[in-house]
A and B are shown apart, each in its own frame.
Chain A
Amino acid sequence: MVAQKLKSKPVALDGDRAVAEAMRQMNPDVVAAYPITPQTEIVMRFSDFVANGEVDTEFIPVESEHAAMSASIGASAAGGRAQTATAGAGLAFMWEVLWVASGTRLPIVMHVVNRSLSAPLNIHCDHSDSMGARDAGWIQLYDETVQEVYDNAIQASRIAEHPDVMLPTLHALDGFILGHGVERIELLPDNAVKKFIGIYKPEHPLLDVDHPVTYGPMALPDYFFEHKRQQAAAMEKALEIIPQIGEEYGTLTGRYYGLMEGYRLEDAEFATVALGSTAGTTKTVVDELRDQGVKAGLLKLRCFRPFPATIVAKALGDKKAVAVLDRSLSFGAQGGPLFLEVVTALFTHGFGPKVVNIAYGLGGRDIVPAQIHQIYKELIEIDGKGFTGPPLRYLGLRE
């Protein structure tokens, strides 16, 4: 394909409105959603589009998130393109039906504005909600900037519906930091988005009465395991498809997407690994350290599920020391979810750099450049002296 960048429209939008705008352009057949801070603005704005006739979407104002996901499952099985959005406790309330969506192989797109899980009650950003859903069979993409919020929202639809994938896709943006942070972003023309995502043609729509099909049957011990193996295979396939779609999106926009982004990583000696908006803060610190002659680098992970183990291992294998940043805790585990994945990837690929885990930013606590400088300082010390004790450290916490 010849690279041909489309004329795009610069606008000032926050992450929630960028999602709503992308949804308007994608014009899903069904959106079933329940408002919850900090996702509310998506539903509010999208409801405007519905009320104003700017989309053809059937909007279902459900009574709960369990119902939102259940309605999305029904709509998707029927043959429609279904999207929803939620946050924090809303995602937790969907938990049971998340597995039904993925097990039934329905390409639902869900925008999750990351919020901590109660208790204590907190509306601000951490990744406890989406990490709580990490085993539910959904693809998970994370955004660094509001531009990525918009771009990933659109690509999520293509990824989910790819015939070799057919998995629901969760698209995560940091609550408030991206959700309510206004940035200048570029929007594609409406028709370019429509053309990019295409028309959804499900193979076995439930409403095709000439070709009746049973959705949601029982599978006992003789078949259940085979269905789960298929889901695993679809995830493996998604590792190939996601960068292909990211490449195709790049030819339209000039913004290319892979499974991860290495920032000054190749020749780096000290690396951090981060998801979400923290990657942006870290890039600033990496630049400052490079100016001081420190070989610092960043691995920004875009795709957490499926986890791109081989490329992550190869990108980090030769580093002197690595810090993995987790914005959630897995209580009683040896580290956060991202840490466990990274260490497993390194070990199974035969690499053994020193790796520590940094838990940070829970309940929306800010992470600032000075703290990230501290992380790299620790990595340099670890390279010299090694470290003892558990690898998990808490950053920005009052001891």
Chain B
Amino acid sequence: MTLKTWREILAGGLITNAGNSEEYETGSWRSYRPIIDMDRCTHCMICWVYCPDGSILVTDGKVSGVDLAHCKGCGICAHECPRKAISMVEEALAMEGAQ
């Protein structure tokens, strides 16, 4: 996201475009990454309900992953999951694993 100069922004910090928080990628704040064990997941959607950032991705009514651009790694999903299907992995290790 290109940052605007002081001449380009609205006075007083006003925001006129609704839902623009999506443009702000908070995923870089994360130090723990939720990893979903799809073998244990029953798609009960409790993680989707509890996620404060709307970062649980759903496809055709089923949990399909995590929006890593916005997930802050708070771990609420893992804490609430009744099947203990989500584990929080240190971001550095998760990044190595992904490579």
Contacts and interface: CB of A to CB of B under 8 A. Distances in A.
A219 interface: yes
What range describes how many residues of B lie at the interface? 10 to 19
Interface stretch (A38-46, A56-64, A224-232, A246-254): A224-232
Interface in B1-58: 3-6, 9-16, 18
B26 to A, nearest CB: 11
Interface residues of A, number: 23
Interface of A: 103-106, 166, 204, 211-217, 219, 222-223, 225-227, 229-230, 233-234
Nearest to B9: A226
Nearest to B5: A226
Given A204-B16, A211-B16, A213-B16, A234 B11 contact: yes
Contacts of B3: 222-223
Contacts of B11: 105, 166, 230, 234
A104 B13 contact: yes
Given A229-B6, A233-B6, A219 B18 contact: no
A212 B18 contact: yes
Contacts of A222: 3
B13 A219 contact: yes
Interface string B61-79: 0000000000000000000
Nearest to B20: A214
Interface of B: 3-6, 9-16, 18
B12 A104 contact: yes
Contact of A103 (B6, B13, B16): B13
5 contacts: A105-B12, A211-B16, A212-B18, A225-B6, A227-B12
Contacts of A104: 12-13
B14 A227 contact: no
Given A223-B3, A226-B4, A213 B15 contact: yes
Nearest to B21: A217
A166 B10 CA distance: 12
Contacts of A233: 6
B16 to A, nearest CB: 5
Nearest to A234: B11
B14 A230 contact: no
A230 B18 contact: no
A215 to B, nearest CB: 6
Interface centre among B5, B12, B13, B15 (most CB of A within 10 A): B12
A108 to B, nearest CB: 12
B16 A217 contact: no
Given A211-B16, A215-B14, A226-B9, 6 more contacts: A104-B13, A212-B18, A213-B15, A213-B16, A226-B5, A227-B13
A223 B16 contact: no
Most buried by B among A104, A106, A226: A226
Contact of A230 (B9, B15, B16): B9
